[in-house]
């Protein structure tokens, strides 16, 4: 056992089943471990290091900001935060709205949930009692706080934490009829991932997103999109929903992961649209004192995120994600390998649906984890999404040669699988 492993055992909660890898430095798509071995990184901190590791523009922005001003309170005006909000609104979302900056995706979703409750109080039921319910979907993942965990549609994540925060119901994903029949007087909002990431890489259908938007209009509900994993170029467009149903207009959006390229930042966005006949804008329901965060949107993380998002936009890295998706799909399809049942996802959020029978795994491992560990031994880092889906999450600036190299490792590893028993 290494010294680091021993220290973990003595001092760190075992909330993760950690893999035997100790990264010490990175550059671009390469991650180097303690022993000096270099890996091709298609895990990217779970879709977080969108520009790879140690990107010079981001490192520069962080260094300069650290030498100038790390942190001030949100009691003051923070120019980097204002510039980042403007960049996101005008260049990435392209719809009028207002942002709040958090430190993570779970917190961003908590902000959306709080906004839905304010909205449901402002637009109550016929008898005057507030609406509060947020509908979410099976296999969804929204985070680990008490709020975002209750929103998450996976029992294994909620197990043992009763009583859960009330006010959520989970519906089958991509089922328009079930959604239509599930609206109750207390329902205030829908929250959904345009591309479900952790739950196995399942893409919302265009019909489902359009129907969700229509049902929200009909029943005066907020349409809230969790783009924490899928947003900011990852899925081949600035926003994942635009790859699927570009004409819909969300009322709320949450982000984190890739927006900071590795610095802890998240955000939620509320549309400027009016929520009543008096023209009350939705963001005004979250006024002074309604929400806050000490660190959220501080100068350091905003300077870094601004560098990341400008790089993604100026180099049109969403277009690269789109192009690489095609290359990945064509190559993997051409192998016709029995272990890969289907390729799901959009852009560089790729999920390989595995055939459990074709992967002979050790008793305590799922097929996805088994394959991920074999790939790691062969020099490629990837990440499971549930028991039988493996994710490829290269950085958005990945080159053709790097994709080819990663796919070659995958192909070699698949061909080297011992026959299933
Ligand atoms: C990762 C993730 C979250 C939670 O983000 P944290 O930063 O880990 O709190 C929420 N929603 C989605 C879709 C995610 O992928």
Span 340-391, pLDDT tens digits:
999 999 999 999 999 988 888 877 899 999 999 999 999 999 999 999 999 9
Helix crossing, 299-314 with 79-87: angle to 10°?
30
**In what helix (H) or strand (E) does residue 223 lie, and over which residues does it extend?**
strand 222-226
Query: Does 3-54+317-415 carry CATH code 3.90.1150.10?
Result: yes
Q: Mutate which of 108, 143, 201 to test ligand 1's pocket (most atoms within 8 Å of Cβ)?
A: 143
Q: Where are the alpha helices (DSSP H) in 205-338?
A: 206-219, 240-244, 299-314, 317-335
The CB of 250 under 6 Å from ligand 1? The reply is no
The CB of 106 under 6 Å from ligand 1? The reply is yes
The CB of 347 under 6 Å from ligand 1? The reply is no
Question: Residues with Cβ < 8 Å from 307, sequence gap 6 or more?
Answer: 55, 57, 58, 60, 61, 62, 261
**C-alpha 126 – ligand 1 centre gap (Å):** 35
Query: What pLDDT digit, counting tens, does each position of 273-324 carry?
Result: 999 999 999 999 999 999 999 999 999 999 999 999 999 999 999 999 999 9
Q: pLDDT value at position 360?
A: 82
Q: Mutate which of 141, 191, 264, 346 to test ligand 1's pocket (most atoms within 8 Å of Cβ)?
A: 141
Q: How far is CA 267 from CA 205, 315, 402, in A?
A: 25, 23, 31
Q: Which two tokens stand for residue 408?
A: 């070659």
Q: Which two tokens stand for residue 63?
A: 């260094």
Q: Mutate which of 47, 191, 256 to test ligand 1's pocket (most atoms within 8 Å of Cβ)?
A: 256
The label of the residue with tokens 């489902």 reads 208
**C-alpha 143 – ligand 1 centre gap (Å):** 5
Q: pLDDT value at position 258?
A: 98
Q: Which two tokens stand for residue 385?
A: 């999404």
Q: Mutate which of 198, 252, 295 to test ligand 1's pocket (most atoms within 8 Å of Cβ)?
A: 198
Closest CA to 26 of 17, 15, 18, 38: 38
Q: Is the preceding peptide bond at 163 cis, omega within 30 degrees of 0?
A: yes
Looking at the DSSP bridge assignments, the partners of residue 392 are 350
**In what helix (H) or strand (E) does residue 393 lie, and over which residues does it extend?**
none
3-state DSSP call for residue 276?
coil
Listed by start position, the domains of the chain span: 3-54+317-415, 59-314
Sheet holding 340-346, edge to edge: 340-346, 349-354, 389-392, 383-384
What is the C-alpha to C-alpha distance for residues 268 and 63, in angstroms, rounded to an integer? 26
DSSP labels for 296-312? TT-HHHHHHHHHHHHHH
What is the C-alpha to C-alpha distance for residues 319 and 234, in angstroms, rounded to an integer? 10
Measure the CA angle with vertex 404, ends 400 and 406; round to 5°. Answer: 120
Q: What is the pLDDT along the chain (421 residues), one digit of tens a residue?
A: 999 999 999 999 999 999 999 999 999 999 999 999 999 999 999 999 999 999 999 999 999 999 999 999 999 999 999 999 999 999 999 999 999 999 999 999 999 999 999 999 999 999 999 999 999 999 999 999 999 999 999 999 999 999 999 999 999 999 999 999 999 999 999 999 999 999 999 999 999 999 999 999 999 999 999 999 999 999 999 999 999 999 999 999 999 999 999 999 999 999 999 999 999 999 999 999 999 999 999 999 999 999 999 999 999 999 999 999 999 999 999 999 999 999 999 999 999 999 988 888 877 899 999 999 999 999 999 999 999 999 999 999 999 999 999 999 999 999 999 886 5
Question: Taking the domain 59-314, which CATH number applies?
Answer: 3.40.640.10
What is the C-alpha to C-alpha distance for residues 408 and 15, in angstroms, rounded to an integer? 33
Closest CA to 100 of 270, 222, 280: 270
Q: Which two tokens stand for residue 40?
A: 């091709």
The CB of 105 under 6 Å from ligand 1? The reply is yes
Closest CA to 305 of 356, 252, 266: 266
What is the C-alpha to C-alpha distance for residues 14 and 10, in angstroms, rounded to an integer? 10
Q: pLDDT value at position 362?
A: 77
The CB of 48 under 6 Å from ligand 1? The reply is no
| Contact criterion met (CB below 8 Å) for 228 and 109 | yes
Q: Phi then psi for 100, rounded to 5 degrees?
A: -125, 135
**C-alpha 117 – ligand 1 centre gap (Å):** 21
Q: pLDDT value at position 421?
A: 55
* End-to-end Cα separation, the chain, in angstroms: 32
Ligand 1 nearest atom to the CA of residue 143, by list position: 4
DSSP count for the chain of H helices, then E strands: 14, 17
Looking at the DSSP bridge assignments, the partners of residue 351 are 344, 391
């Amino acid at each position: 056992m290494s010294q680091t492993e021993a220290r973990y055992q003595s001092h760190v909660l075992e909330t993760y089943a950690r893999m035997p890898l100790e990264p010490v430095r990175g550059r671009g798509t390469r991650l180097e471990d303690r022993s000096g071995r270099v890996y091709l990184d298609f895990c990217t901190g779970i879709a977080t290091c969108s520009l790879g590791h140690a990107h010079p523009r981001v490192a520069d922005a962080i260094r300069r900001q650290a030498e100038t001003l790390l942190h001030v309170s949100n009691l003051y005006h923070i120019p980097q935060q204002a510039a980042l909000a403007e960049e996101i609104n005008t260049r990435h979302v392209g719809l009028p709205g207002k942002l709040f900056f958090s430190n993570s995706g779970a917190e961003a979703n908590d902000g959306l949930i709080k906004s839905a409750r304010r909205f449901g109080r402002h637009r109550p039921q016929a008898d005057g009692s507030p609406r509060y319910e947020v509908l979410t979907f099976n296999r969804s993942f929204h985070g680990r706080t008490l709020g975002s965990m209750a929103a998450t549609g996976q029992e294994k994540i909620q197990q043992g934490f009763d009583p859960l925060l009330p006010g959520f119901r989970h519906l089958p994903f991509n089922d328009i009829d079930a959604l239509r029949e599930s609206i109750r007087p207390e329902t205030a909002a829908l929250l959904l991932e345009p591309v479900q990431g952790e739950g196995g890489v399942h893409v919302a259908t265009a019909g489902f997103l359009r129907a969700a938007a229509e049902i929200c209009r009909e029943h005066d509900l907020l349409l809230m999109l969790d783009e924490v994993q899928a947003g900011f170029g990852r899925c081949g467009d600035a926003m994942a929903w635009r790859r699927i149903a570009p004409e819909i207009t969300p009322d709320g959006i949450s982000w984190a992961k890739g927006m900071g390229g590795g610095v802890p930042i998240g955000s939620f966005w509320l549309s400027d649209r009016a929520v009543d006949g008096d023209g009350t804008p939705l963001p005004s329901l979250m006024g002074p004192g309604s929400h806050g965060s000490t660190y959220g949107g501080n100068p350091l993380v905003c300077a870094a995120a601004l560098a990341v998002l400008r790089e993604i936009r100026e180099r049109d890295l969403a277009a690269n994600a789109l192009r690489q998706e095609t290359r990945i799909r064509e190559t993997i399809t051409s192998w016709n390998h029995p272990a890969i049942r289907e390729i799901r996802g959009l852009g560089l959020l790729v999920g390989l649906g595995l055939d459990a029978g074709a992967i002979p795994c050790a008793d305590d491992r799922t097929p996805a984890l088994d394959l991920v560990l074999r790939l790691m031994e062969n020099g490629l880092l990837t990440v499971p999404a549930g028991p039988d889906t493996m994710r490829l999450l290269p950085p958005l600036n990945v080159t053709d040669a790097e994709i080819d190299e990663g796919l070659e490792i995958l192909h070699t590893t698949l061909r080297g699988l011992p026959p299933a028993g």
